[in-house]
Amino acid sequence: MILFNMKSAIAILALTFITNKAYVSTKDIDDYKEVAKTGDIILQTNFDTPAAYALHVGTLSKYNHAGVVVREGEKYFVYEALRHIKKTPLSGYIKRKGTLNRFTVTRVEMTKKQRSKVAAYVKSKKGKNYDPELNWSDKNYYCSELAYKAYLSAGIKIYEPKKLKDMPLAVFISKNMKHNFRINRISLDQKVVSPADLGRFWRVKQVFTNY
């Protein structure tokens, strides 16, 4: 009963982040493509999994998923960590079930060389497994960890990762809501970074949103 009530409350809270316009036209995708750059971080709100609700309240943010935009030829793709790290067409990422087609894009200005390093990093991790244990290692990755470390590979530290013990709300939620994270296997001294954290660096600017 506790889980049901808490999930219901979080669902109501999460929906306050969404406007009455439930579906977004392809014009939003086209508008973003006009300003898109390799290295952009694209954030989403996904309501389709139990973990999504836990992330909402645990991090006090509407964002619960992140990916890195990479231009390849004339097309844009998003490198993201779901079941594994994969390359998803930009339109497919945005139109994914459970997102209401909403997205926000943030950017840190960087040199062409830095953008190349970010792209090379995410491409090199393609195929690695998703990390439900949130380990701060280079064996497997969760979505915001992949983006964070991609920037770090280019010499850009977006945010100082928190330790799990400094996120008591997240720990509480992990014990009281259904999710697919294996929090019980993680040391409270483990460093973590959330999708919301990716936008908290002073050099990060928002370049597009349709929320």
Tens-place pLDDT, residues 136-190? 889 999 999 999 999 999 999 988 888 777 765 555 555 554 545 555 566 677 8
Three-state SS at 121: helix
> What rounded mean pLDDT belongs to the chain?
81
Q: What is the 3-state secondary structure (H, E, C) of 156-177?
A: CCCCCCEEHHHCHHHHHHHHHC
pLDDT at 58 (0 to 100):
65
pLDDT at 16 (0 to 100):
47
Query: Is pLDDT at 66 greater than 80 in this prediction?
Result: yes
What percentage of the chain carries pLDDT values higher than 90? 45
**pTM for this predicted structure:** 0.82
Containing H/E element for 149?
A: helix 143-153
Torsion 61-62-64-65 (CA) sign: negative
Query: Is pLDDT at 21 greater than 70 in this prediction?
Result: no
The pLDDT of 92-112, averaged and rounded, is 92
Q: Taking the chain, what is the end-to-end CA distance rounded to the nearest angstrom?
A: 32
pLDDT at 4 (0 to 100):
40
| Lowest mean pLDDT, pick from 4-18, 57-71, 165-179 | 4-18
Residues near 202 by beta carbon (within 8 Å), at least 6 away in sequence: none
Higher model confidence: residue 23 or residue 196? 196
For residue 75, which phi and psi values (nearest 5 degrees)?
A: -115, 155
Query: Is pLDDT at 191 greater than 80 in this prediction?
Result: yes
Question: At 194, which amino acid appears?
Answer: S
What percentage of the chain carries pLDDT values higher than 70? 73
**Distance of alpha carbon 194 from alpha carbon 206, whole angstroms:** 17
| Lowest mean pLDDT, pick from 77-81, 83-87, 91-95, 171-175 | 171-175
Per-residue pLDDT of 40-61, as tens digits, reads 999 998 877 666 666 666 677 7
Query: Is pLDDT at 122 greater than 90 in this prediction?
Result: yes
Three-state SS at 14: helix
